[in-house]
Chains A and B, each alone.
Chain A
Amino acid sequence: MKKFFKKNKRRFFLSSLLSFFLVPFFFKKINSYELSDFEKQTGFKNYGSPSKFERIFRWIMSSPALKGNGSSYSPLSKLEGTIFPNGLHFERHHYGVFDSNPNNYFIEIIDKNEIIDISLKELKSMEISSVKTFIECGGNSMSMYNKVPVRNSVDLIHGLISYSEWSGVTLKNLFSRYSYKKIDKYKWIEFESFDKGNYNISIPYDQAYEKAFLALYQNGEAIRPEQGYPIRLIIPGWEGSTHVKWVSKIKLRDKPIYSRNETSKYTDLMINGKARQFSFKMETKSIILKPSVGQGVKLGNNIITGLAWSGTSTIKLVQVSLNSGLSWNECKLNEQHIESNFKRFLYEFDWNGEEIIIQSRCIDNDGYVQPSRKKFLSVMGYNAKYHFNAITSWKINKDGSVDHVY
């Protein structure tokens, strides 16, 4: 069988690749929901929706044959500011979306000797704190590992990231309320979802205790089903796979559970054939969103804008290069005075019709500089697949069109 596989390895590889990527992109018209008579008569809406002239949507990468598995990409290049609308937050589902009745929803904290049930109502009555943070899928920008630059919209290359204000109960509060003290007895916590695959992930106890919280609200309203209604684990700056949706069980443990999503997936296979495991933090990164593939540049004054973020530190500055990285110019940042791990940057430049390559790089407050693709790949290799944070280059052609180049 092994021989058979080896012989056909190339074919298998290609077919599996094709079947995944050639799936048509489905999207529905922006929902036009039925107005009640009262709404029609008064001209008000109980729940607002975007203008009918705005056709903004997430790209969906999925297959009907594997219903519930796939992802949808945030339309980064069509948004402004930093907060993402709830309906445009990226999604990555492994086992479908679940919408469960909050009235009989409860989570269990499971110790070796006891189980504590906490109802959603109880959680909501506790002190609610908020954090503005991004969630980035560990596999965001995966196509940047390709040997040939993919000619896709920036949304489809880098769109598995979104930024929201998340509000909920910190684990610290929750544990202290139920008399769990930070003691050496526990080393890890396993968070388990109630979705069809009971998705589970292990988090080091200390880290979870300090940083994690159980979010109930996203940008002020109850978390939507596709984001984990009613409870989602949030750990600012960590990869998307640790933000367990539909949390139902919190198991205190002395070692990781070594689930599929922390061994077979979300591990980074390095050049030496060994895989980096539990690489939770998302590295410092920035992307130019405008101009990018599919958009044009006009002669004269243009504005470059994009997003920069860091799961390891906060943003210090973002620089733009107009000459393939030979020299770097500092950008304007939104909310310059606020320490944040997610910022929008702006840079004005004049284009005289020559071919140029534009890039952005982010420098964080730890002094880390976002690496070039070449430097990044010399450390990570091509098999890591996750955690791509190197510089993306856009080439502006003579006709003003934009290409993706390495």
Chain B
Amino acid sequence: MFIRLCLYTLIFISICNLSYVEELSIEMDGSNLPFGEGEVENGKIIFIENCSSCHGHSGEGLIAQELMGGSDLLVGDNIALTVGNYWPYAPKIFDYIRRAKRDSLSNRFDNNQVYSLTGYILKLNGLYNEKKINKTSLRKVKMPNSKGFISNY
């Protein structure tokens, strides 16, 4: 009886695992960020290896979007819209790096690597100064432009 129960439990768990698909969309408040932790220094290494050929050595932009800098006030001419001065919610940086990584590597980054990269990009923008970054600390990051959008709906 006990063995049979164990067997059923095992089968149940394996079915659960099979049907489990990771939710890619992260909420703007970061409430469903995955477990994991990244080191910001490590993020710099990953960035230079995988991202700098398009985004520039330290995110200043090349053939792909600039990721850092830009004026704080979003008025006037020739405004560069970057992660630092335009993106409203920090957890969505994690969301986008994980979902949209290009084909420099065949697979997606793992969650720890994404945390590292998120931390590094925030650091480039002067928005994060800790050495490590995880769900709790990422949720606390305040983005300068979080109140910069007026919704039509």
Q: Is the interface of B mostly helix, strand, loop or mixed?
A: loop
CB-CB < 8 A to B136: which residues of A? Answer: none
Whether B12 is near chain A, meaning CB under 8 Å from some CB there, is: no
Contact of A274 among B77, B89, B150 (CB under 8 A): B150
CA distance A317 to B28 in the complex (A): 44
CB distance from A357 to the nearest CB of B (A): 26
CA distance A90 to B66 in the complex (A): 26
Whether B75 is near chain A, meaning CB under 8 Å from some CB there, is: yes
Q: Are A19 and B62 closer than 8 Å at their CB atoms?
A: yes
Could you give, for residues 246-281 of chain A, a 1 whenever the CB lies within 8 Å of some chain B CB and a 0 otherwise?
000001000001111001100101011111111110
Whether A63 is near chain B, meaning CB under 8 Å from some CB there, is: yes
Known: A1-B126, A257-B27, A263-B88. A383 touches B99 (CB 8 A): no
CA distance A2 to B25 in the complex (A): 31
Whether A25 is near chain B, meaning CB under 8 Å from some CB there, is: no
- Which residues of chain B from 61 to 91 have a CB within 8 Å of any chain A CB? 61-66, 68-70, 73-75, 77-81, 83, 86-89
Whether B95 is near chain A, meaning CB under 8 Å from some CB there, is: yes
Q: Are A258 and B68 closer than 8 Å at their CB atoms?
A: no
CB-CB < 8 A to B24: which residues of A? Answer: 192, 198, 200
Q: Are B88 and A258 closer than 8 Å at their CB atoms?
A: yes
Kindly specify which of A6-14, A31-39, A372-380 makes contact with the partner chain.
Answer: A6-14
Q: Are B63 and A278 closer than 8 Å at their CB atoms?
A: no
Whether A382 is near chain B, meaning CB under 8 Å from some CB there, is: yes
Q: Which residue of A lies closest to B64 (CB)?
A: A66
CA distance A46 to B60 in the complex (A): 52
Q: How many A residues touch the partner, as a band?
A: 35 or more
CB distance from B8 to the nearest CB of A (A): 23
CA distance A257 to B87 in the complex (A): 14
Known: A196-B103, A251-B25. A276 touches B150 (CB 8 A): yes
Whether B139 is near chain A, meaning CB under 8 Å from some CB there, is: no
CB distance from B66 to the nearest CB of A (A): 6
CB-CB < 8 A to A15: which residues of B? Answer: 61-62
Q: Are A280 and B152 closer than 8 Å at their CB atoms?
A: yes
CA distance A190 to B99 in the complex (A): 15
Q: Are B60 and A275 closer than 8 Å at their CB atoms?
A: no
CA distance A94 to B83 in the complex (A): 18
CB-CB < 8 A to B99: which residues of A? Answer: 197-198, 200
Whether A209 is near chain B, meaning CB under 8 Å from some CB there, is: no
Q: Are A278 and B153 closer than 8 Å at their CB atoms?
A: yes
Whether B36 is near chain A, meaning CB under 8 Å from some CB there, is: no
Q: Are A275 and B149 closer than 8 Å at their CB atoms?
A: yes
Whether B100 is near chain A, meaning CB under 8 Å from some CB there, is: yes
Known: A1-B124, A264-B87. A20 touches B151 (CB 8 A): no
Contact of A63 among B61, B63, B89 (CB under 8 A): B63
Q: Are B62 and A13 closer than 8 Å at their CB atoms?
A: no
Could you give, for residues 94-105 of chain B, a 1 whenever the CB lies within 8 Å of some chain A CB and a 0 otherwise?
011001101100
Contact of B60 among A8, A10, A198, A259 (CB under 8 A): A8
- Which residues of chain A from 74 to 122 have a CB within 8 Å of any chain B CB? 94-95
Whether B58 is near chain A, meaning CB under 8 Å from some CB there, is: yes
Contact of A5 among B68, B86, B102 (CB under 8 A): B68
Q: Are B60 and A12 closer than 8 Å at their CB atoms?
A: yes
CB-CB < 8 A to A267: which residues of B? Answer: 149
- Which residues of chain B from 34 to 49 have a CB within 8 Å of any chain A CB? none
Contact of A276 among B25, B53, B80, B152 (CB under 8 A): B152
CB distance from B36 to the nearest CB of A (A): 19
Q: Are A272 and B60 closer than 8 Å at their CB atoms?
A: no
CA distance A170 to B94 in the complex (A): 34
Q: Are A273 and B69 closer than 8 Å at their CB atoms?
A: no
Q: Are B149 and A67 closer than 8 Å at their CB atoms?
A: no
CB distance from A169 to the nearest CB of B (A): 24
CB distance from B88 to the nearest CB of A (A): 5
CB-CB < 8 A to A400: which residues of B? Answer: none
Q: Are B69 and A2 closer than 8 Å at their CB atoms?
A: yes
CA distance A272 to B149 in the complex (A): 11
CA distance A304 to B38 in the complex (A): 61
Q: Which residue of B lies closest to A5 (CB)?
A: B69
Q: Are B96 and A260 closer than 8 Å at their CB atoms?
A: yes
CB-CB < 8 A to B64: which residues of A? Answer: 66
Contact of A273 among B25, B74, B88, B89 (CB under 8 A): B74
Whether A42 is near chain B, meaning CB under 8 Å from some CB there, is: no
21 contacts between A and B (CB under 8 A): A5-B70, A9-B69, A12-B56, A12-B66, A16-B62, A66-B54, A66-B64, A94-B100, A192-B25, A196-B100, A198-B24, A198-B100, A204-B153, A257-B27, A273-B73, A273-B74, A274-B74, A275-B86, A275-B148, A278-B152, A382-B77
Q: Which 8 A-B pairs give the minimum distances between C-beta atoms?
A: A5-B69, A197-B100, A273-B74, A277-B149, A258-B28, A273-B75, A260-B96, A278-B152
